[in-house]
Structure 1
């Protein structure tokens, strides 16, 4: 609508990181209304101020609900949608038993289209408005995902997963074909509408040194792109990397040697890091992506959120579907809280909500566009019902502030808590 609209409720935005300073809530701001026009945030403030800003706009009353930036999921595998919650495997067996057989199906564009649409519908229903996804080795899987996101007006990042060893026949490319296919996809999709390409070597064990070198060369040629991969998820994976790369100083070195360490790099999991790796990641300003439901579901370990944040790392939050066991960023925040408790450093509600929005947007280098409510930013919004079930309602009624009111929704909420979702100023 040309005249825009106004949402009234508890409008949450962040002025900084709630991991800085003694009181996490000091980084947050609560206002009464947010105004949206032409797909962007026009402003936030009192209802009277927003009505004066957009005098012809309709007001939608969400009193008692929390209005915030849409959730940003920084590490997903959309091709694993249909195999989410598969039983009982650790990483390498899980890949061989479930992931690789399913990913072979994505050579079929029709199947890729079906799963891409299903995935984006499922995640939008959970309030997620931006994702960064691995596809499969097939260019068709990338075309399908970007086309589905483009039709919805979504800001997403994605890339063709590159693997030339330790994967079944039918899921291997070569160093040259990975380079050529990825470059063609960059030319076709990167920067079109709200789409960004992410160069995507799956992880060191499934790429030869020649392919990693080719991916590093591609990233060097296209530094405007993100680069995503996996790092130090499980101890047996790290041992495997040591066998495959006996000359490497550590796991990160298998990327660093080939030009795959940089400021726009996204390193999924990063649980079992060595000191050198932590220093190098911080020095480059690379992003570590915390995937808590995945880490517990396949038994990977406990991410050191407090320690990594304290040393200045850039950290995003992610479902890692389908290794992760939920499409919901609410469930992901709950798992991050539980992992923090197990490490003796529980996260505040403000920190969890920041990680699922602004933190992930910063990790993806998209924080100037999404992940917060601020004039000029893209209008990706979610409205949270803080009394979506009887159990949540009875707890939130006793709350003495908004953080105590929202925390039961973080811990027990699901898609029923999602009252409205707006993508690019358009209601989903």
Structure 2
């Protein structure tokens, strides 16, 4: 197989940029190079040096563009693609008005396949090469997204959404037994096949009975290498709802913990209104929370405490939460994360933002070292960022004194026009 050498600006993280000053943790090269071979990153270094060492490599020179790991969306809902940016009120009204009716449409396998393909193509157009997605209660909706990812050679995390309580509409309910059995069959069919990872997926405790959560907890115990994804403490009225439905629980997180659904490979979306005990337990077990800033502002959920949770050692990923989120773009998501942090008085550095959208999300998904990094041995999922993609961005970048001032305008104002190229598993996307 031909070696390919990409030339451009590069960033290399030596550690989590929340743990120290960026100048101590990040290495940049304005004339960097990334060598790709057999679908993986074979070398990262100074471009001219790599060019001399590998004269047989096919060279793709991106000039001043930034060679970044492909973006990783750690929490989204592919069945909601068609109703993104629907005017709404609070979370529960929004679910009943838009989400549940749209998810019922995926009872049609042909429609599920259409939306799955559309979702992944939109993600690739925005530089996102890995997604972790909820599906619907229909097993074929899981097949649809895994098959679409397989056709594009994308790494994918997904699972059948499970809901058996009468708080969910009749057309979107399964049972405790069918949720377990359907999920078990899907794990056998997909988990670990190619680039696919299965996530056991109770939507959230208010739409599951204790029996269903117990069944899914048992399934996770039997398949501990799977991920588990759900929602936690997104809105205050949702927290109150969970407390009313689970009166014996110590808090919202306990509705999961009591049924075997708290663990290191757990992904808890939103996690805005957390109690001290919940933060302690998430940190104790090494679980991950996923920040969904465009969704949290769009639906009016609240301000995620990035600084506080990172200080406690909680693993944090970043996500669009489409269609609750209002954009497929991880650039827009980074911008929203910056804005939320500003409102909390804890500004985020550009190094922290780009890390959250790449290596931070990879770590949250327990894929650190495999994706989200330019380190040798990682899978070659890459996004090439044009740092002068529009006149407004270009005129600001022209004044930049360093890489951070050059990158930040693209984070704050960039969109799909900033995506110069995307490479998936070492292959350039057409």
TM range (shorter): over 0.9
1:353 aligned onto 2:354: yes
Cα deviation for residue 295 of structure 1 reads 0.2
Query: 2:146 & 2:88 partners in 1: Cα distance?
Result: 32
Cα deviation for residue 90 of structure 1 reads 1.1
Cα deviation for residue 123 of structure 1 reads 0.5
Cα deviation for residue 52 of structure 1 reads 4.1
Query: 1:259 & 1:57 partners in 2: Cα distance?
Result: 50
1:99 aligned onto 2:84: no
Distance change in 2, residues 1:105/1:13 (3 Å): same
1:269 aligned onto 2:267: no
CA contact (8 A) 1:92 1:237 kept: yes
- Gaps of at least 5 residues in structure 1 are none
Moved beyond 3 Å, runs of 4+:
none
Query: 1:69 & 1:13 partners in 2: Cα distance?
Result: 10
Query: 1:216 & 1:349 partners in 2: Cα distance?
Result: 38
Query: 1:122 & 1:28 partners in 2: Cα distance?
Result: 30
Structure 2 equivalent of residue 50 of structure 1: 50
**SS in structure 2 of the partner of residue 19 of structure 1:** helix
CA contact (8 A) 1:13 1:68 kept: no
CA contact (8 A) 2:369 2:375 kept: no
1:113 aligned onto 2:113: yes
Deviates further, 255-264 or 42-51: 42-51
1:14 aligned onto 2:13: yes
Q: CA RMSD in A?
A: 0.8
Structure 1 equivalent of residue 67 of structure 2: 67
Query: 1:45 & 1:168 partners in 2: Cα distance?
Result: 54
Give the 5 Å matches for 1:16-415: 16-21=15-20, 23-31=21-29, 32-165=32-165, 166-415=167-416
Cα deviation for residue 55 of structure 1 reads 2.5
**SS in structure 2 of the partner of residue 87 of structure 1:** coil
**SS in structure 2 of the partner of residue 89 of structure 1:** coil
Query: 1:209 & 1:353 partners in 2: Cα distance?
Result: 39
Q: Deviations over 1:148-175 (max 9, x none)?
A: 0001101110000000011111100000
**SS in structure 2 of the partner of residue 149 of structure 1:** helix
**SS in structure 1 of the partner of residue 96 of structure 2:** helix
- Gaps of at least 5 residues in structure 2 are none
Q: Deviations over 1:78-130 (max 9, x none)?
A: 00000000002211001100000000111111101100000000010000000
Q: Deviations over 1:165-192 (max 9, x none)?
A: 1111110000000000000000000000
**SS in structure 1 of the partner of residue 106 of structure 2:** helix
Cα deviation for residue 51 of structure 1 reads 2.4
**SS in structure 2 of the partner of residue 112 of structure 1:** helix
Deviates further, 24-33 or 222-231: 24-33
